[in-house]
Amino acid sequence: MPVLTLETRAKWRTLLDSQTLLMPDERPAIIYLETEKAPITITRSQFVGEVIRCAAALQAVGIRARDLVIIAHIQNLESIYAFWGALWLGAVPSMFPTLTEKLDPDLYMDSMAELTRNSEAKAVLTTDAFAPELAKRCPCPVYGSSDWLPGCGDQTENTNMMLRRPKPDEIAFLQHSSGTTGLQKGVALSHQAVLNQLASYASALKLSEQDVIVSWLPLYHDMGLIAGFIQPIVQGIPLVLMSPFDWVQHPALLLRAIHEYRATLCWLPNFAYNHLARRVRSRDSEGLDLSSIRAFINCSEPVRNSSHQLFLERFAANGVNASQLGVSYAMAENTFAVTQTMVGESANIDMIDLDALQRDLKAAPAVANTPHVAAQVSCGKPIANTAIKIIDDQGGVLPERSVGEVLVKSDCMLTGYYRRPDLQAFDADGWYRTGDRGYIAGGEIYIVGRSKDLIITAGKNVYPQDIEAAAYEVEGIHQGRAVVFGIPDEREGTELIAIVAEVDETDEEARKTIYQTLRQQVARATEVTVSYVSLVGRGWLIKTSSGKTARGANREKWLAERAEGLL
């Protein structure tokens, strides 16, 4: 069967038509990497065998077709087999993060309890170590690995008995869209919608059987699940995979994987470009060839031109060039990609007047290297069978270069929010309101921030992400560990801006330098005055279970601690 594209889409009915599942042979399906351990190569035949074994194990503990199975596991081969084993039975799997030191335990447990209760989950699969604690909070059975996997050996003879062929419009799996209190909205995606996404996106990427995808991305996030997991398995393209925890500690692992396996596609959130550029030591990148990559695709966070330039300068000697730096705008509700820049070409940079953006919500062109100019990076044009429009607060469609809310319509949208009839996904005309704010220029989409995060101060429209990006340029402030929010001020009649940033420095003079530098950097980069700056220790910030900064929860924590005199 050829690679799934727009041209071959009609030949595919469900995700179980995966090339990896239908053509089990000795070609690699997954190459799993861990630091200081030998690579584990899983052939297609081995992959199918493990999937069937897991399907039998799930069946043995009572999982049936249409049952929701939550996989709250560390990212490893067991969790991968469990996901596809559930699909094999016709059950509905959903990847969920396990508790880590970066997550608030109470927030995580509350989120998990609410998720399993609202979604009527049949079971939760997790680690042996975590199962007893999680079982105290969840209303459904919680299984550690030793509770469900043992005793199911070779199940090849039972393949046809267990395999269930779902209808194309049946729900295949759930992704979870995060909010400030955790993962609460189960995004229900049908086999049909996912295959439509994979076909359109493969065409945009010019995907072929010669591609090799490399990923460290967590599978509970749409970028990791779709681009870095389901796509290569369905397409029969080798996947070089590593744990996100391992990658964060040893970022050069990704670069070595690209070099050794001649990887061609790699998706990264914006912070990863900075992390790689700043954390990979010269001796760890020496001699590595990254020229095989057709595209490093920036996705899931506001894209920063400065991050691209930092990455490009750091790894130019390793074969990285501007034409490899692509961008995608994506969301779980659209399965994944909404747009994609042209592979093989660098993303367009739009220089705009910052005053016009903040004052008039207009993306007025400006000259580079002049005052009051901001660089916006294009996310590309919509992929096939996907449409975008920009609307104002009254619902009117805006012309090019006017900033408003982004709406999306496609053939790969969610069926709905799982068991949440109170949440309407679409407007009366079938458009999905993303909550993101952006503009269109030359047919390409530019994202500037989230509607709910917008701060209006002294008549200026300020996006917290811009200030956070400026903060990360200050030495001593951790990447991804700062949060900005607005504080209403009745006396001033406007919102004041507060920033909370984590630092390790304890010396009072050094902290004072960070404090002053931070204020200066924000003023210089955004021409906005920050009213409150709080430097806090590591671990202060609240993150959602998906690892995103819980802006609202941090705002409430900051207000509470200020009221108690702790900040």
Specify if 272 maps to a domain: no
pLDDT for 525-555, tens place per residue? 777 889 999 999 988 998 876 667 888 889 8
Confidence of residue 301 (pLDDT cuts 50, 70, 90): confident
Structural domains of the chain, count? 3
State which residues form the domain around 548.
455-563
Q: Residues 415, 471: one domain?
A: no
Confidence of residue 185 (pLDDT cuts 50, 70, 90): confident
Confidence of residue 11 (pLDDT cuts 50, 70, 90): very high
Q: Residues 415, 480: one domain?
A: no
| Stretch among 99-113, 342-356, 381-395, 475-489 having the lowest mean pLDDT | 99-113
- Looking at residue 258, its pLDDT comes to 98
Task: Provide the strand spans (E) within 328-476.
Answer: 339-340, 349-353, 373-377, 381-382, 386-391, 404-410, 416-417, 432-441, 444-450, 455-457, 460-462
Q: Residues 432, 468: one domain?
A: no
Q: Residues 68, 206: one domain?
A: yes
Q: Residues 401, 482: one domain?
A: no
> What is the rounded CA–CA span in Å between residue 111 and residue 241?
28
> What is the rounded CA–CA span in Å between residue 294 and residue 483?
34
Task: Look up the pTM and report it.
Answer: 0.86
Specify if 337 maps to a domain: no
Specify if 501 maps to a domain: yes
| Stretch among 13-22, 91-100, 180-189, 373-382 having the lowest mean pLDDT | 180-189
Q: Residues 402, 493: one domain?
A: no
Residue 195 and residue 4 in contact, taking contact as beta carbons nearer than 8 Å:
yes
Residue 472: CATH number of its domain: 3.30.300.30
* Burial zone of 82 (CB within 10 Å; 0-12 exposed, 13-18 middle, 19+ buried): buried
Q: Residues 445, 500: one domain?
A: no
Residue 373: CATH number of its domain: 2.30.38.10
Q: Between 135 and 301, where is the model more confident? A: 135
Task: Decide which of 451, 466, 493 is a domain's last residue.
Answer: 451
Is the confidence at residue 57, as pLDDT, over 80?
Answer: yes
DSSP secondary structure string, 61-120? TT--TT-EEEEE--SSHHHHHHHHHHHHHT-EEEEEPPP-TTS-HHHHHHHHHHHHHHHT
The stretch 515-526 carries a mean pLDDT of: 87
Task: Decide which of 400, 427, 451 is a domain's last residue.
Answer: 451
Is the confidence at residue 181, as pLDDT, over 50?
Answer: no
Angle, CA of 501, 502 and 504, to the nearest 5°: 140
Beta-bridge partner residues of 72: 96
> What is the rounded CA–CA span in Å between residue 283 and residue 246?
19
Is the confidence at residue 346, as pLDDT, over 70?
Answer: yes
Q: Residues 86, 228: one domain?
A: yes
pLDDT for 254-276, tens place per residue? 999 999 999 999 999 888 998 89
> What is the rounded CA–CA span in Å between residue 115 and residue 462?
33
Widest Cα–Cα separation across the chain: 75
Q: Residues 104, 235: one domain?
A: yes
Specify if 138 maps to a domain: yes
Q: Residues 48, 154: one domain?
A: yes
Is the confidence at residue 183, as pLDDT, over 60?
Answer: no
Q: Residues 411, 485: one domain?
A: no
Q: What's phi and psi for 458, nearest 5 deg?
A: 50, 40
Q: Residues 192, 166: one domain?
A: yes
Is the confidence at residue 160, as pLDDT, over 60?
Answer: no
The stretch 367-388 carries a mean pLDDT of: 93
* Burial zone of 168 (CB within 10 Å; 0-12 exposed, 13-18 middle, 19+ buried): middle
Specify if 339 maps to a domain: no
Task: Decide which of 399, 418, 451 is a domain's last residue.
Answer: 451
DSSP state of 398: P
